């Protein structure tokens, strides 16, 4: 018997169990679907051609910034360029698009971290209370550790910028999807990176206050993903070009589904797209 769900996609929700194995649920319309349970099964996805903004639900011909309509793109604080580049936060200039949103999201503790997503990268996150950050899971990290704690988003961006001179800040999604990477001594990487940025970090502390940046003694988290087989030669699916596809779901990592015949699709990219999922 075929089960069918219909509605607008949203990015998959992630959680980690006691063994740090990632569990995925997919919001589609008003339903939440257990994606881990579908691994090894045949699924069919059919895109209707309609897109609704993930924020205001307005129908839009084109999706921006992973699910927003154009009016939301140019008006929401969460779509501003400083979300991608937090070192460019302009709240203090009085020009934040939504000051209340900025106060709620940008003026809480942030953490600078190191993660192994195929290569080692630096990044920032607000959430590490459960041990494993959702950001690490969204990026497909197999190892991660917190390096520094800062009081706000702007400072996290400034610290990340110091690190970017010595280490990447982007995930190569193709590398991430080609299998479990070799284990890295993140503690050693952290020690070496802290030595490289020491002088610049001291200068930032003089500007922001000595307590503005503090080192965190964090454990190394090993993260596991529900994958039966990894693709060998990746073929990326795009709902705008391939509105319907079927295949065996081989695994999930980051925000990607891996299907047979080396096909992958970034679910987050198509947030707001109205689809039918059958299995």
On whether residue 76 sits in a domain, the answer given is no
Q: Are 112 and 176 part of one and the same domain?
A: yes
pTM summary value: 0.93
- Domain span holding position 264: 4-59+226-278
Q: Are 216 and 271 part of one and the same domain?
A: no
pLDDT tens for 128-164 read 755 899 999 999 999 999 999 999 999 999 999 999 9
On whether residue 181 sits in a domain, the answer given is yes
Q: Are 139 and 190 part of one and the same domain?
A: yes
Q: Are 248 and 155 part of one and the same domain?
A: no
Residue 7 to residue 153: CA distance in whole angstroms: 34
Question: Does residue 31 sit in helix, strand or coil?
Answer: strand
| Domain edge (last residue) among 222, 239, 261 | 222
On whether residue 67 sits in a domain, the answer given is no
| Domain edge (last residue) among 195, 222, 249 | 222
What whole-number percentage of the chain has pLDDT above 70? 99
On whether residue 44 sits in a domain, the answer given is yes
Q: What is the pLDDT of residue 129?
A: 52
Q: Are 217 and 232 part of one and the same domain?
A: no
Question: Does residue 233 sit in helix, strand or coil?
Answer: coil
Q: In which band, very low, low, confident or very high, does the pLDDT at 127 lie, cut at 50, 70 and 90?
A: confident
On whether residue 190 sits in a domain, the answer given is yes
Q: Are 112 and 218 part of one and the same domain?
A: yes
Place of tokens 């015949």: 261
Q: What is the DSSP letter of 181?
A: P
> How many structural domains compose the chain?
2
């Amino acid at each position: 018997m075929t089960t069918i769900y219909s509605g607008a996609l949203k990015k998959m929700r992630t959680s980690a169990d006691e063994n740090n194995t990632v569990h995925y649920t997919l919001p589609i319309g008003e339903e939440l679907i257990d994606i881990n349970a579908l691994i090894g099964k045949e699924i069919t996805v059919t895109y209707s051609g309609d897109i609704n903004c993930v924020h205001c639900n307005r129908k839009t011909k084109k999706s921006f910034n992973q699910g927003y309509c154009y009016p939301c793109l140019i008006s929401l604080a969460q779509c501003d360029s400083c979300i991608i580049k937090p070192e460019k936060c302009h709240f203090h200039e009085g020009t934040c698009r939504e000051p209340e949103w900025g106060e709620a999201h940008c003026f809480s503790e942030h953490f600078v971290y190191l993660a192994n997503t195929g290569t080692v990268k630096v990044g920032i996150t607000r959430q590490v209370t459960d041990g494993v950050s959702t950001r690490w899971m969204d990026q497909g990290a197999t190892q991660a550790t917190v390096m520094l704690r800062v009081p706000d988003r702007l400072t996290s961006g400034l610290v990340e910028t110091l690190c970017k001179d010595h280490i990447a800040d982007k995930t190569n999604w193709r590398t991430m999807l080609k299998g479990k990477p070799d284990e890295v001594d993140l503690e050693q990487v952290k020690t070496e990176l802290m030595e490289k940025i020491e002088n610049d970090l001291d200068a930032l502390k003089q500007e922001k206050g000595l307590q503005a940046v503090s080192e965190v003694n964090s454990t190394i988290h090993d993260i596991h993903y529900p994958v039966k087989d990894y693709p060998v030669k990746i073929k990326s699916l795009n709902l705008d070009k391939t509105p319907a596809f079927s295949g065996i779901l081989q695994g999930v990592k980051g925000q990607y589904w891996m299907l047979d015949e080396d096909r992958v699709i970034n679910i987050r990219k198509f947030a707001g797209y109205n689809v039918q999922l059958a299995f």
